[in-house]
Amino acid sequence: MSDNLKHLLLLAEQKKPRDGHTARFEQKLKQSARPRNRKRIFQMSALAAAAAGLILIVVINGIQSDNEEFQKRSLSDISPQTKALELQMSEHITKREAEVDFENPALFNQIKVYRSLQIEFSKLENDLNLNFGDERLIRAMMDNYQHRLKVLENILLIKRLNEQQLPSTPHQINSKS
């Protein structure tokens, strides 16, 4: 085997490289010796990062200015009649809320219903901002005002009944209805 290996090595030494091999080799050697334009690549990447940052700042400022210009709309923005009705209903609700003890455990179920109606009203307000003037939303908001007022009236009724029963009987009326 060693004779075979020697024979192969002799054949490899005798073979001449193709024409231009040396020139191509020297050209590649010069290219690898020359420093690549890393500085230019770094400058381009820094410039791209700065441009991206500038675009991001412009977009964020645009979003903030849109949010500042956005005005939350309510029923009072629809017409003078709805403004008057909303004012009247909110005044009634505010008066009733002042009379209610929201910490009273006997009123827990009714207060839970009232809180869910408040959350529903907030969602309706958001929907009204997206679909301003939609009659279904207006009606739903008015109905919500009425339902909240009824629930507050029920809470106050339960409270009065509990106060009347308190001296004579230790049992309280529960608000499960």
Number of neighbouring beta carbons within 10 Å of residue 117 = 20
**Whole-number Å distance between alpha carbons of 11 and 4:** 11
**Where does the pLDDT of residue 25 fall: very low under 50, low under 70, confident under 90, or very high at 90 and above?**
confident
**Whole-number Å distance between alpha carbons of 34 and 27:** 11
The percentage of the chain sitting over the pLDDT mark of 70, rounded to a whole number, equals: 77
What is the predicted pLDDT for the residue at 16?
Answer: 66
What is the predicted pLDDT for the residue at 3?
Answer: 76
- Across 30-39, 63-72, 122-131, 158-167, the highest mean pLDDT is recorded for 122-131
**Where does the pLDDT of residue 159 fall: very low under 50, low under 70, confident under 90, or very high at 90 and above?**
confident
Judged by average pLDDT, the poorest of 28-32, 134-138, 162-166 is 28-32
**Whole-number Å distance between alpha carbons of 89 and 83:** 10
**Whole-number Å distance between alpha carbons of 109 and 113:** 6
What is the predicted pLDDT for the residue at 131?
Answer: 83
Judged by average pLDDT, the poorest of 60-69, 90-99, 126-135, 155-164 is 60-69
What is the predicted pLDDT for the residue at 61?
Answer: 72
**Whole-number Å distance between alpha carbons of 113 and 100:** 14
DSSP letter string over 30-67? HHHHSPPSHHHHHHHHHHHHHHHHHHHHHHHHHHHHHH
**Whole-number Å distance between alpha carbons of 151 and 113:** 8
What angle do the packed helices 135-165 and 108-130 form, to 10 degrees? 160
Matching residue, tokens 């009123």: 107
Cα dihedral 5, 7, 9, 11 sign: negative
- Mean pLDDT computed over 114-139: 90
Nearest-5° Cα angle at 75, 69 to 77: 50
What is the predicted pLDDT for the residue at 68?
Answer: 47
Is 81 a residue whose pLDDT tops 50?
A: yes
Better pLDDT: 20 or 81: 81
- Which helix (H) or strand (E) segment is 84 a member of? helix 80-99
What is the predicted pLDDT for the residue at 98?
Answer: 93
